[in-house]
Structure 1
Amino acid sequence: MSYKNKTYVIFDGDNDMWAYARMKGWKALENIDFNFYDAHDLKPLTNQARSEDYIKQRLSERMSNAKQAIVLIGNSTKNLYRFVRWELDKALTNNIPIIAVNLNNYRSIDNNLCPPIIKGQNAIHIPFRMRMIKYALDDFPPFHKTLDLSKREDWHYKDSVYQSLGLND
């Protein structure tokens, strides 16, 4: 079994690629303290990527190395079942901590946009802010390990965490 140190990012590839690209951009800048080991760098898709079964097999292999998952929640994420819902279901089944990142910058669950499959499933809901994402990547997986999984809820950080990170707005 390989060491699980990757972050698996789930997003709407048609509408929210900009957010994923921005995260990769933050990671690439040497003067910015932001890093994550992207599970999507593993097992690149080949020309067989037109087959749904092939894509799901590759995504499954990538997720098997993940210690956490980020779902970028945009306007249409909750309506995507073919891959997004499938990926979220796999993360829940494998007890992978889910960091729900609201692209509209809500600091807690946005009931209008959150995919129903992760409502009340011990995900943490945060805004799309670099320092907050970095904080959640470091903080939430260890906290998730301590949870009583028979109790399910939607998590968010207190205002004091945002203040300590200089995110007062």
Structure 2
Amino acid sequence: MANRTGTYIGFDGLGKANPTESDFRYYSTMQAWSAGKNIDFRFVNSHDKTAAVRDSSLRSTLESRIRERLSASKNCIVILSGDTRKSGSMLSYEIEKAVDLYKIPLICVYVGYETINQPKELSNRWPNALTTRINNGTAKAIHVPFKKEILLTAINQFSVNNSIPSGALVTYTKEAQERMNSK
């Protein structure tokens, strides 16, 4: 197996040609955080390790590239917004492969929240593939808000090379989240 140093980032493109109209904008925000000279947010982006693909690429090409990227990933961020679809996006395939094939811990990231204390209450944002894996216990996941410090902490803490969340509905304590948000 390849050296697993990357962080895979999955999101729902919502079938939009304009990336600003989809969850791609949150992925772009993470790229900007990582590129910022005055921001301490560094991670190895698995998407940068292979040739680029477009949403218009053949599904077989997309799936092959996803598997290639996941096989080199230590963890998988799943961006969840109010627009994330239950099915019909590549995000479901990404979650299936990350959990079932590569046994990668998930970092479920919720847009629009300061803290995440009861992830089940946000299950309306979960694609069916995530719901199934949380309910059957195969997903090892931490649930965090889309906040830079908390997200970076989770990226650095949870990986196939380090510590894996103890279950499917793990969160940081409310106090820890508030402390990280204040940085």
**Per the shorter chain, which TM-score range?**
0.7 to 0.9
Q: Is the 8 A contact 1:107 1:126 kept in 2?
A: yes
| One of 86, 96, 121 as aligned partner of 1:89 | 96
**2:180 alignment partner in structure 1:** 165
Name the % identity.
26
Please give the secondary structure, in 2, of the residue aligned with 1:144. Answer: coil
Write the distance in 2 (CA, Å) between the matches of 1:144 and 1:47. 31
Q: Could you say if the C-alpha distance between residues 36 and 47 of structure 1 is closer, same or farther in structure 2, counting changes exceeding 3 Å? A: closer
Aligned to 1:143: 163
Q: Give the AA of the match of 1:117.
A: A
Map 1:29-108 to 2 at 5 A.
29-45=36-52, 50-93=57-100, 94-105=102-113, 107-108=116-117
Conserved 8 A contact 1:48-1:54: no
User: What is the identity, as a one-letter code, of the residue corresponding to 1:102?
Assistant: Y
1:5 and 2:25 are equivalent in the alignment = no
**Cα gap change, 1:166/1:16 in structure 2, threshold over 3 Å: closer, same or farther?**
closer
Over the residues paired in the alignment, what is the CA RMSD in angstroms?
Answer: 2.2
Unmatched 5+ stretches in structure 2:
17-21
The answer to whether 1:111 aligns with 2:123 is: yes
Q: Which residue does the alignment assign to 2:152?
A: 134
TM-score w.r.t. length of structure 2: 0.80
**Runs (5+) with no aligned partner, structure 1:** none
Tell me, yes or no, if structure 1 residue 155 matches structure 2 residue 170.
Answer: yes
TM-score, scaled relative to structure 1: 0.86
Task: Flag the 1:46–1:136 CA change in 2: closer, same or farther, 3 A.
Answer: closer
1:62-121: per-residue Cα shift (whole Å, max 9, x none)?
Answer: 111000000100123242334110100001112101000001225142122122332423
| SS of corresponding position for 2:79 | strand
The residue aligned with 2:142 is 124
**Segment drifting more, 97-106 vs 87-96:** 97-106
Q: Answer yes or no: is the 8 Å Cα contact 1:45–1:55 preserved in 2.
A: no
Distance 1:29 1:57, change over 3 A: same
Q: In the alignment, is the contact (CA less than 8 A) between 1:122 and 1:153 conserved in 2?
A: yes
> 2:19 matched to which residue of 1?
none
Structure 2 CA distance, aligned partners of 1:96 and 1:78? Answer: 22
Is the 2:147–2:181 Cα contact (8 Å) retained in structure 1?
no
1:156–1:47 Cα change, 3 Å: closer
